[in-house]
Amino acid sequence: MTSPIKLLALDGDGIGPEIMVATLAVLDAAAKAFGLKIEIRKMDIGFLALKASGTTMPPGVLEAAKAVDGVVLGPVQHDDYPPTDKGGVNPSGVLRKELDLYANIRPARTRPYVPSPITKTFDLVIVRENTEGFYADRTMFAGTGEFMPTPDLAMAMRKVTREGSRRIAQSAFELAKLRRRKVTAIHKANVLRVSDGLFLAEVRKVAKAFPDVAYDEKIVDAMTALLIRDPAQFDVIVATNMFGDILSDEASELAGSLGMAASLNAGTDNAVAQAQHGSAPDIAGRDIANPVSLIGSMAMLLRWLGERHTSPELLKAADAVEAAIEATLEDPNTRTRDLGGTLGTKAFGAAVCAKLIG
């Protein structure tokens, strides 16, 4: 590529700054190894931004995110933010809504060298709708989807549209064609007959356009059990926002650790790499956090950019980063403590860099 790739890095809260340092070190190593031109701009969000500017998501951050090729987002501690009217907005939710990042891609697979709570092996991807559903910050043009008509009554709105359902289904089937050609739709249409009924109707329409991809449906509560009992039967799983969020955390934990759960928020024109886990404030500043999730998410962003720009170098860099992660995890001496190793966050990042360079 002749023009540089421009990225925005947002550390976030808790362990965010630490895992971001490791991630950007790996990105720099990949850029040098494959001759990539990458320009990185850093801005503050979360508690640091709240202290400096009175809001956890300064307006300039959103404008910067719109202007770059991609964003690397660290975890945020939004549960502990002040109310919205006092500056406590969720940066992740704002980016997903304002950049229309409708597809949250969350891969999960077991590895023979990483302990798992189950003996079964699996390799699946959850394609989660990202801009609608039960999430109160994504259901209304103004205000919130949660409200209290009386002091003793709380209500929540769910938003499901034909367009939102169609495009997330399209993403799932297109991904399945590159994998094992099977899509499973998750729903609760036996209870949520109207909203999940609409979702399923659109998924079924898309399924007809992909006759070479097998298609089935599972009720969400049965799916939570099936992921434990027989996860190998699943390839690509498509779900509405909340169901996809819950199932992807379950799948990642079954794969060994949320600390390895990569995630990409993708839209038509923008993408945000984001660790699937939270900010883990209890271990912040101790150099013990596992940075694999954010490093892997960054590799997913490189692949998205490589496909978008038809860049073999970016695609090769993405493959190389993922291979370096695996090689580092495979060696017991270069794992983080949560996986039985001894390396800290920074040292693990350096070990991945060494695999890339050498």
Query: Helix 162-177 and helix 195-208: axis angle, to 10°?
Result: 40
Q: What tens digit of pLDDT does each residue of 191-250 get?
A: 999 999 999 999 999 999 999 999 999 999 999 999 999 999 999 999 999 999 999 999
- The stretch 252-274 carries a mean pLDDT of 94
Looking at residue 1, its pLDDT comes to 58
Looking at residue 357, its pLDDT comes to 86
Phi, psi angles (nearest 5°) of residue 230: -150, 65
- pLDDT at residue 141 greater than cutoff 80: no
- Under DSSP, the state recorded for 133 is B
Looking at residue 325, its pLDDT comes to 97
Q: What tens digit of pLDDT does each residue of 66-102 get?
A: 999 999 999 999 989 999 889 999 999 999 999 999 9
Indicate the pLDDT class of residue 2, thresholds 50, 70 and 90. low
3-state SS assignment for residue 200: helix
Residues 6+ apart with CB under 8 A from 206: 166, 169, 170, 173
Secondary element (H or E) of residue 126? strand 123-129
- pLDDT at residue 133 greater than cutoff 90: no
Which pTM does this prediction carry? Answer: 0.94
Which overall architecture, per CATH, does domain 1-103+260-358 show?
3-Layer(aba) Sandwich (3.40)
- The stretch 132-144 carries a mean pLDDT of 80
Q: CA-based diameter of the chain, in Å?
A: 64
Contact 75, 279 (CB under 8 A): yes
- The stretch 329-353 carries a mean pLDDT of 94
Q: What is the DSSP string of 70-83?
A: EEEE----GGGSPP
Contact 37, 68 (CB under 8 A): no
Q: Do domains 1-103+260-358 and 117-254 have the same CATH topology?
A: yes
Q: Which of 129-133, 301-305, 315-319, 344-348 has the least mean pLDDT?
A: 129-133
- The stretch 53-71 carries a mean pLDDT of 96
- Alpha carbon distance 65, 70 (integer Å): 7
Q: What tens digit of pLDDT does each residue of 295-340 get?
A: 999 999 999 999 999 999 999 999 999 999 999 999 999 999 988 8
**Domain ranges across the chain:** 1-103+260-358, 117-254
- As annotated, the active-site residues are 135, 188, 221, 245, 249
Looking at residue 39, its pLDDT comes to 97
- Mean predicted lDDT score pLDDT of the chain: 95
The CATH label, of 3.10.180.10, 3.90.800.10, 3.40.718.10, 1.10.10.10, for the domain at 117-254 is 3.40.718.10
- The stretch 26-30 carries a mean pLDDT of 97
Looking at residue 140, its pLDDT comes to 74
